[in-house]
Homo-oligomer: A and B are copies of this chain.
Amino acid sequence: MRVTCLSGGVGGAKLARGLQDALAPGELTVIGNVGDDVEVLGMHVSPDLDSVLYALAGLNDEERGWGRAGESWRTLGAAVEWGGAGWFMLGDLDLGLHLVRTEALRDGDRLSAVTARLVEAAGLETRLLPATDDPLRTFVVTEEAGRLAFQEWFVARRHADEVDGIELEGAEAARPAPEVVEAIEGADLLVVAPSNPYVSIGPILGVPAIRDALAGRDARCVAVSPLIGGRAVKGPLDRMLTRMAGGTTPAHLAGRYEGLIDVLVIDRADAPADAHVPLIVTETLMRDRASARALAETVLEAGA
């Protein structure tokens, strides 16, 4: 069974791990968001790809919810003392990956090729594909501060500014990375992870050929809602949905994926509800590896 999952950062990474656990080796492909990639201290950082990679490899910090377990920040501390930027938390272990990837990109490698080597170095059989190798960057349009680069809004300003719109710079011209369209067209099941539809899944769907491939899918597409009781498990999605879509019910969320999904998996706290797609009600909070696998199994059943 070939399963292809579109994923943002932390929530998507957890489900990806659950799917990997529930499937046979090599059956899972994850297509990751690159809209929030950022250059910090001269490093090319791909936070969402890394969240997925670390989760798939079992290297992620489950308590903190981002980055690597056992992390430390000595290099960043030293960089700040020498006048470097300290607003983005680059851990020592994390930086090991950023150094290798940044060097490869500067040497002319494509992001997808570097990512494939990292996945191989981690000994994984799951495929992890960036949505695109072309420059695609997410900006948010805010009332208070105007247009902000994603990480400036999300990390530096702690997503305090209300968002009126999303701009995906470079999306129209972006081509899917190698294997991405094939992974959608050839899948037996498509999954949209419980990630933010605006700033995590949106930039993946912003690549025209990816959106077209998903819209023309043969397989079923099951989305998992990132909301529990109308609230985001993590991050500003509930505020964004309220402001830009008018509410945080399953229908408001499903509206972000109109024509692209066949089923929406929601949490018990959001039922009963109506939407323009069939709903499956379950426990969606992924507290640990076992609950992530259980959710993954529900998703796989929903797609059967």
Contacts and interface: CB of A to CB of B under 8 A. Distances in A.
Interface of A: 41-43, 72, 74-84, 92-97, 99-103, 106, 117-118, 121
A106 B75 CA distance: 19
Number of copies: 2
Contacts of A81: 96, 121
- Of all A-B residue pairs in the complex, the 3 with the closest CB atoms, nearest first, are A78-B96, A42-B103, A79-B96
B72 A102 contact: no
B121 A96 contact: no
A95 B67 CA distance: 19
17 contacts: A41-B100, A42-B103, A42-B106, A72-B74, A72-B92, A74-B74, A74-B92, A74-B93, A75-B75, A75-B92, A75-B93, A75-B99, A78-B92, A78-B94, A83-B100, A83-B121, A92-B92
Given A75-B93, A95-B75, A96-B76, A82 B42 contact: no
B97 A78 contact: yes
A74 B74 CA distance: 9
A82 B102 contact: no
Contacts of A42: 99, 102-103, 106
A72 B92 CA distance: 10
A130 to B, nearest CB: 16
A13 B94 CA distance: 32
